[in-house]
Amino acid sequence: MDELLGIVVAGATGRMGRALIEAVVRSPGLRLHGALDRPDSPLLGRDAGEAMGVHTGVRVCAEVPATLAGAHALIDFTVPAATLAHARDCVAARVPMVVGTTGFDADGRAGLVAAAKELPIVFAPNMSVGVNVAFRLVEQAARILGDAYDVEVFEIHHRHKVDAPSGTALRLGEMAAAALGRDLSRDAVHGREGVTGERGAREIGFHAARGGDIVGDHTVFFAGQGERLEITHRSSSRSNYATGALRAARWLQGRPAGLFDMQDVLGLRD
């Protein structure tokens, strides 16, 4: 293995891709091995760091198999269809993956599970260290507070986000649901409008807002009689996601095939 870990960034010209590239070139022990983008991207052939004023010596390209050759990890924050195609290429090239893409349906998740039987994959709705601590805090709060407190999840993101609720919001709800013995397929309520009737005791509510350039805010409310507990995480920059993704890429080295998440990476798993 090379002294430096070679990282390939998918979606290299997007907002998250640019943050990842900047983080890679500034991180000791890492090197930018490749930068992938769509075949119709107008930035193909340009230096991957040009938009950030950084010279990387790596040009944006669309040739996935060739780019993966000799790499140590692919980091993918794109869209489900592209991520699943990249997963097939990573299996063929034996390159571990860090997946931060959200919006997968059941078939998409099954595709990642299948790929993880062949290589190690870290798949998490949010790579932020702080958010993953929030996941555990929500789980613990739900377990302690129990059914006497109503759970509502609020999130807001930038106007360009295409899925709602966010993967992070859903994961926060899943953590609460698991601790309370509930099933989101039955108990989740997405927004409320009109005469909805009294709130069900087992409901876990989700509420999404979109606007401007907000990176991502999440709050879980535990509303009881006479008090409420709020667990909030706010992101002011994508750099925290990039830092977590690079930590995951390092952690993957030498791991066996399997599907992991940031709880594994951070040692937060019980």
Residue whose C-alpha is closest to residue 86's, from 16, 161, 11:
11
Q: Does residue 117 carry a catalytic annotation? A: no
> Angle at which helices 129-145 and 239-252 pack, to 10 degrees?
90
157 in catalytic set: yes
Which of these is catalytic: 86, 157, 207, 218?
157
For residues 1-19, one letter each, b for 16 or more C-beta atoms within 10 angstroms of the residue's C-beta and e for the rest, the string is eeeebbbbbbbbbbebbbb
Q: Cα dist. 252→31, 44, 54, 86 in Å?
A: 16, 29, 27, 17
* Residues labelled as active-site residues: 157, 161
